[in-house]
């Protein structure tokens, strides 16, 4: 997903924190115990480069998925060696329930929203139709971005969504997807919000990968701002959505070893926005996660790997489990 609009322009214009300051803020705001994950990340390449202009257009997809899941990559225990933490943001890891044990998420409903759709490229007129998001009008959907090698965001998000669904169902949750690659395009952003609302979901997570400039690296979780305008009223969900987002961000750092974004969020891995229809129109706790930047070669190499995508799903799952168990 790319960034455009006055809110992001204002965010980009703020003075950039130093790399050391960003690390300090990330550690304080997320999970002190996850610092080991950051150090591992630095050891294998670290975050680099300065923030450049975001929102680079995605090339048309080649249809090639550079990595498909293998049995070892799909194992729910991919994060078994991750650093432990005592922080609220990364407690109660979402490992599979033991046979015969009560399912910890029984009765809970989780909606997973895989960002974009592989068919959007062939339906530009449909996805360019404007819908009301409360604060104004916005395109029904977008094509999303892709790596330089042509691995699309839509393929990435659907793959992670499938992995995440499996992990959450192992915990006893009822899991619904906003789409499963079974429709020609979309759904539109207002419909994506309605699906979570209609399901009375206990948590909704929209999965994305960013399309920012090369050198911009790391993940970030997008939280809903307090919006009360038109059909949008996020005031009741701002607090629980932040709780959900903090727990996902902390567990994602711990399990994947990836660093928080070095170009938005001031090193915290958290960003608040009011220009996303999927958040504005939600009446249940909901966040977006940008798992990395597809336009950076180092992040792209991670996102294209099946083993890393399993870790990403595991980190998100553990954050959701922590939130739902309280």
DSSP letter assigned to residue 82:
S
Res. 229 pLDDT band, cuts 50 70 90: very high
* 220 in any annotated domain: yes
Catalytic status, residue 153: no
Look at residue 256 and tell me whether its pLDDT is greater than 80: yes
pLDDT of residue 97: 55
Model confidence at 219: pLDDT above 80: yes
pLDDT given for residue 58 in this prediction: 46
CA pair distance 189, 140, nearest whole angstrom: 6
User: Average pLDDT over the chain, rounded to whole?
Assistant: 80
Residue 10 lies in a domain: no
Report the pLDDT value the prediction gives residue 2, as an integer from 0 to 100: 54
Average pLDDT over residues 227-237: 98
- pLDDT over threshold 90, residue 61: no
Cα separation of 117 and 152, whole Å? 9
Report, as an integer, the average pLDDT of 257-284. 98
Q: Which run of H or E residues covers position 300? A: helix 297-303
Q: Is 200 among the domain residues? A: yes
**Are 297 and 160 a contacting pair, CB within 8 Å?**
no
Query: Could you tell me which residue, 43 or 115, shows the higher pLDDT?
Result: 115
Within a domain: 190: yes
The answer to whether residue 226 sits within a structural domain is: yes
Q: Examine residue 279 and state whether it is found in any structural domain, yes or no.
A: yes
**C-alpha torsion angle, residues 283, 118, 292, 133 (rounded to 10):** -30
- Taking 90 as the threshold, does the pLDDT of residue 168 lie above it? yes
Please tell me which residue in 153, 191, 246, 290 is annotated as part of the active site. Answer: 290
Q: What is each CA distance from 326 to 195, 253, 319, 322, 323, in whole angstroms?
A: 24, 20, 11, 6, 5
Q: Percent of the chain scored above 90 by pLDDT?
A: 68
- Read off the pLDDT of residues 241-252 as tens digits, 9 standing for 90 and up: 999 999 999 999
CATH number for the domain spanning 201: value is 3.40.630.40
Domain that holds residue 183: 106-326
Supply the pLDDT for residue 13.
36
- Average pLDDT, integer, range 1-29: 42
**Overall average pLDDT of the 84-107 stretch:** 57
**Is the model's pLDDT at 35 over the cut of 80?**
no
Orientation of helix 153-170 relative to helix 306-325, angle to 10°: 50
Count up the domains in the chain and report the number.
Answer: 1
Mean pLDDT of 117-145: 97
Residues 180-212 have pLDDT tens digits of 999 999 999 999 999 999 999 999 999 999 999
Is position 79 within any domain? Answer: no
Label residue 29 by pLDDT band (50, 70, 90). very low
The percent of residues in the chain predicted with pLDDT above 70, rounded, is 69
The residue among 231, 238, 227, 234 whose CA lies nearest residue 283 is 234
Assess if residue 20 is contained within a domain: no
């Amino acid at each position: 997903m790319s960034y455009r609009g006055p809110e992001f322009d204002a965010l980009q214009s703020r003075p950039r924190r130093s790399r050391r300051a960003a690390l300090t803020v990330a550690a304080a705001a997320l999970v002190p115990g996850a610092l080991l994950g950051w150090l591992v990340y630095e050891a294998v390449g670290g975050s680099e480069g300065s923030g450049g202009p975001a929102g680079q257009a995605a090339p048309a997809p080649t249809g090639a998925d550079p990595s498909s899941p293998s049995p070892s990559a799909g194992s729910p225990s991919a994060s078994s060696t991750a650093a432990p933490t005592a922080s609220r943001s990364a407690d109660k890891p979402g490992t599979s329930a033991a046979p015969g044990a009560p399912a910890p998420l029984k009765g809970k409903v989780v909606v997973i929203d895989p960002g974009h759709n592989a068919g959007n490229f062939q339906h530009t007129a449909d996805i360019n139709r404007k819908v009301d998001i409360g604060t104004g009008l916005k395109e029904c959907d977008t094509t999303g971005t892709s790596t330089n090698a042509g691995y699309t965001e839509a393929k990435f998000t659907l793959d992670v969504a499938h992995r995440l669904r499996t992990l959450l169902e192992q915990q006893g949750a009822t899991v619904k997807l906003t789409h499963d690659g079974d429709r020609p395009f979309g759904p539109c952003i207002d419909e994506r919000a309605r699906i979570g609302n209609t399901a009375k979901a206990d948590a909704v997570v929209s999965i994305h990968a960013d399309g920012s400039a090369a050198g911009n690296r790391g993940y970030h979780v997008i939280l809903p701002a307090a919006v009360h305008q038109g059909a949008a009223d996020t005031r009741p969900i701002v607090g629980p959505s932040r709780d959900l987002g903090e727990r996902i961000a902390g567990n994602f750092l711990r399990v994947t070893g990836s660093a928080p974004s070095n170009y938005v969020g001031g090193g915290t891995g958290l960003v608040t926005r009011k220009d996303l229809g999927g958040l504005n129109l939600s009446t249940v706790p909901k966040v977006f996660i940008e798992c990395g930047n597809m336009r950076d070669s180092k992040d792209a190499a991670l996102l294209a790997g099946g083993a890393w995508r399993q870790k990403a799903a595991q980190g998100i799952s553990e954050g959701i489990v922590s939130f739902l168990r309280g």
